[in-house]
Amino acid sequence: MPRQQPIHRLLILALLAALLPGCGTPDADEAMQSGAPEPTLTPPKTGLYQATISVPGGDIPFQLDISDSPAGLRAMIINGDERIAVPAITLNADRVQLAFPAFNNRIDAKVSENGLTGTLTLVKRYGKTQVMPFSASAAPAIAQADDAQINVSGRWAVEFVDEDAERTPAIGEFSQTGATLTGTFLTETGDYRYLNGHVSGDELTLSTFDGAHAFLFRATLREDTLSGQFWSGTEWLETWSGKRDDAAQLRDMQALTYLNPGFERLEFTFDNQYGQPVSLADSRYEGKVVIVTLVGTWCPNCHDETQVMRELYDRYHADGLEIIALMYEHLEDEQAAWQQVEYFRDKFALQYDTLLAGISDKALAAETLPALNHILAFPTAIFIDRNGAVRDIHTGFSGPGTGEHYTELVATIDAKIQQLLAEPAGPSNDTVAAITGAP
Residue 421, classified by CB atoms within 10 Å of its CB into exposed (0-12), middle (13-18) or buried (19+), is middle
Band (pLDDT 50/70/90 cuts) for residue 28 is very low
Band (pLDDT 50/70/90 cuts) for residue 1 is very low
- Which range has the worst mean pLDDT, 3-12, 90-99, 280-289? 3-12
pTM of the entire structure? 0.85
The whole-number pLDDT of residue 42 equals: 85
The whole-number pLDDT of residue 310 equals: 98
* pLDDT 10s digits, 181-210: 999 999 999 999 999 999 999 999 999 999
Residue 316: count other Cβ atoms within 10 Å of its Cβ. Answer: 19
Identity at 75, one-letter amino acid code:
A
Between 41 and 130, name the one with better pLDDT. Answer: 130
Between CA 262 and CA 20 the distance in angstroms is 71
> From residue 425, how far is each of 267, 280, 387 by CA, in Å?
19, 16, 6
Contacts of 182 (CB under 8 A, 6+ apart): 80, 81, 174, 175, 194, 195, 196, 197
- Taking all residues of the chain, what is their mean pLDDT, rounded to a whole number? 89
Percent of the chain with pLDDT over 70: 88
The whole-number pLDDT of residue 436 equals: 38
* pLDDT 10s digits, 400-431: 999 999 999 999 999 999 999 999 887 654 44
The whole-number pLDDT of residue 50 equals: 96
Beta bridge partners of 112: 115
The whole-number pLDDT of residue 96 equals: 96
The whole-number pLDDT of residue 429 equals: 41
Question: pLDDT at residue 101 above 70?
Answer: yes
* pLDDT 10s digits, 147-178: 899 999 999 999 999 999 999 999 999 999 99
- Which range has the worst mean pLDDT, 11-25, 78-92, 119-133, 233-247? 11-25
The whole-number pLDDT of residue 141 equals: 72
The whole-number pLDDT of residue 48 equals: 95
Residue 265, classified by CB atoms within 10 Å of its CB into exposed (0-12), middle (13-18) or buried (19+), is middle
* Dihedral class, residue 35 (left if φ above 0, else alpha if ψ from -120 to 50, else beta): left
The whole-number pLDDT of residue 9 equals: 38
> From residue 426, how far is each of 62, 431, 438 by CA, in Å?
54, 9, 22
Between 55 and 18, name the one with better pLDDT. Answer: 55
CB 376 within 8 A of CB 395: yes
The whole-number pLDDT of residue 81 equals: 86
Between CA 150 and CA 152 the distance in angstroms is 6
The whole-number pLDDT of residue 33 equals: 53
Percent of the chain with pLDDT over 90: 80
For β-strands 390-395 and 380-384, DSSP reports them as antiparallel
Q: 379: cis peptide before it, omega within 30°?
A: yes
